[in-house]
Amino acid sequence: MKDDILIVGAGVAGLMTAIELMQAGLKVRLYDTGQAGMESSWAGGGILSPIYPWHYPDAVNTLAHWGTQHYPDYFARLEADTGIDPQWLVSGHLILQTDINTPAIAQWAEQFSIRLEQLDQQQLRVIEPALNSKFDQALWLPEIGQIRNPRLVQALKAYAIKLGVTLSENTEVCRILYDADQVTGIETQTGQINGERVLIAAGAWSGQFTLGNRQLDVEPVKGQMIQFQTTPGTIKRITLNEGRYIIPRKDGKVLTGSTLEHSQFDKSIDDGSQQELHAFATAIYPALESALIINHWAGLRPGNERQTPYIGQHPEIKGLYFNTGHYRNGIILGLASARLCTDIITGNEPILPPEPYALN
Ligand X SMILES: Cc1cc2nc3c(=O)[nH]c(=O)nc-3n(C[C@H](O)[C@H](O)[C@H](O)COP(=O)(O)OP(=O)(O)OC[C@H]3O[C@@H](n4cnc5c(N)ncnc54)[C@H](O)[C@@H]3O)c2cc1C
Residue 5 lies near ligand X (rule: CB under 6 A): no
Pairwise CA distance, residues 97 & 127, whole Å: 15
92, 185, 195, 203: which one binds ligand X (CB under 6 A) = 203
Residue 14 lies near ligand X (rule: CB under 6 A): yes
Interface stretch with ligand X, choices 88-96, 128-136, 324-332, 346-354 (CB under 6 A): 324-332
Which residue lies nearer to ligand X by CB, 29 or 326?
326
Name the minimum Å distance from CB 102 to ligand X. Answer: 22
Name the minimum Å distance from CB 123 to ligand X. Answer: 25
Pairwise CA distance, residues 15 & 159, whole Å: 9
Which residue lies nearer to ligand X by CB, 136 or 304?
304
* CB neighbour burial string for 154-179, b if at least 16 within 10 angstroms, e if fewer: bbbbbbbbeeebebbeebebeebebe
> CA 40 → CA 194, 276, 299, 328, distances in Å?
28, 21, 5, 10
Contact 13, 201 (CB under 8 A): yes
Ordered strands of the 93-96 beta sheet: 117-120, 137-141, 93-96, 238-241, 244-248, 253-257, 219-229, 292-303
17, 31, 198, 237: which one binds ligand X (CB under 6 A) = 31
88, 205, 228, 321: which one binds ligand X (CB under 6 A) = 205
Residue 47 lies near ligand X (rule: CB under 6 A): yes
Residue 41 lies near ligand X (rule: CB under 6 A): yes
**Interhelix angle 12-23/149-163, nearest 10 degrees:** 30
Residue 311 lies near ligand X (rule: CB under 6 A): no
Contact 238, 204 (CB under 8 A): no
Pairwise CA distance, residues 119 & 127, whole Å: 9
Residues 6+ apart with CB under 8 A from 315: 358, 359, 360
Contact 324, 218 (CB under 8 A): yes
Residue 8 lies near ligand X (rule: CB under 6 A): yes
Pairwise CA distance, residues 71 & 309, whole Å: 19
Considering only residues 219 through 258, tell me which ones interact with ligand X, judged by CB under 6 A.
Answer: 223, 225, 257-258
Residue 34 lies near ligand X (rule: CB under 6 A): yes
Residue 39 lies near ligand X (rule: CB under 6 A): yes
Which residue lies nearer to ligand X by CB, 119 or 225?
225
20, 28, 45, 56: which one binds ligand X (CB under 6 A) = 45
Which residue lies nearer to ligand X by CB, 330 or 350?
330
**Interhelix angle 58-82/149-163, nearest 10 degrees:** 70
Name the minimum Å distance from CB 125 to ligand X. Answer: 26
Name the minimum Å distance from CB 103 to ligand X. Answer: 25
Residues near ligand X (CB under 6 A): 8-14, 31-34, 38-41, 43-47, 172-173, 201-205, 223, 225, 257-258, 299, 301-302, 324, 326-332
